[in-house]
Amino acid sequence: MPTEETLVLVKPDGVARGLTGAILARIEAKGYALVDIKLVEPDREVLEQHYAEHVGKPFYEPLVEFMLSGPSVAIRLAGNRVIEGFRSLAGTTDPTTAAPGTIRGDFGRDWGGKVQQNLVHGSDSPESAARELAIWF
Q: Which of residues 42-101 bind ligand DAT (CB under 6 A)?
A: 59, 63, 93
User: Nearest approach, Cβ of 33 to ligand DAT (angstroms)?
Assistant: 22
Distance CA 113, CA 115 (A): 5
- Residue 137 makes contact with ligand DAT by CB under 6 A: no
Q: Is 102 near ligand DAT (CB under 6 A)?
A: no
Q: Is 50 a catalytic residue?
A: no
The number of beta carbons lying within 10 Å of the beta carbon of residue 80 is: 12
Least distance in Å: CB of 64 to ligand DAT? 10
Query: What is the closest distance, in whole angstroms, from the C-beta atom of residue 111 to ligand DAT in the complex?
Result: 11
Q: Please give the Cα distance from 127 to 44 (Å, whole number).
A: 22
Choice among 10, 107, 121, 132 that is catalytic:
121
Alpha-carbon dihedral angle through residues 81, 120, 106, 113, given to the nearest 10 degrees: -150
Q: Which residues are annotated as a binding site for ATP?
A: 11, 59, 87, 93, 104, 118
Binding site for ligand DAT (CB under 6 A): 59, 63, 93, 115-116, 118, 121, 124
Catalytic site residues? 121
